Amino acid sequence: MKSNEKQYDYGRCHVCGGRMEERSVSQTYRAGNRWILVTDVPAGACPECGARVLRSGVAKRVEELLRSRRGRPLRIRAVAWSSQ
C-alpha cells in the first residue's frame, strides 16, 4: 500500500474485540479435493487472536481467482514440521 493512501478501517475484531489491522496474508481455500493457496491477500487481521476478515471486493476477486484455477493442475510443495 502506498504511504499516501488511507488504510481501510476494519474496526474491532468480531472474536475478541481487538483492533483489526490491515495486513497482507496468505489464505488457503478448498476446491473439491484440492487446496489452493492465494498469497498477498489484503485483509483485516487481529493481532490479539489472529481472526481475519476480507473486504467484499477482495473476497469477490479471490473467488474469481479460484474459478480461474478450476481444471488446472496445481502443485504445492509441503514440508513436514519438526520440533527438532
Q: All 3 cell numbers of residue 16? A: 475478541
Reported as a single tens digit per residue, the pLDDT across 8-18 is 999 999 999 99
Three-class SS of residue 61? helix
Return the pLDDT at 38.
86
Reported as a single tens digit per residue, the pLDDT across 21-71 is 999 998 888 877 777 888 889 999 999 999 999 999 999 998 888 888 766
Of 16 and 3, the structure prediction assigns the larger pLDDT to 16
- Threshold 0.75, pTM exceeds: no
Q: Are 54 and 45 contacting, i.e. CB atoms less than 8 angstroms apart? A: no
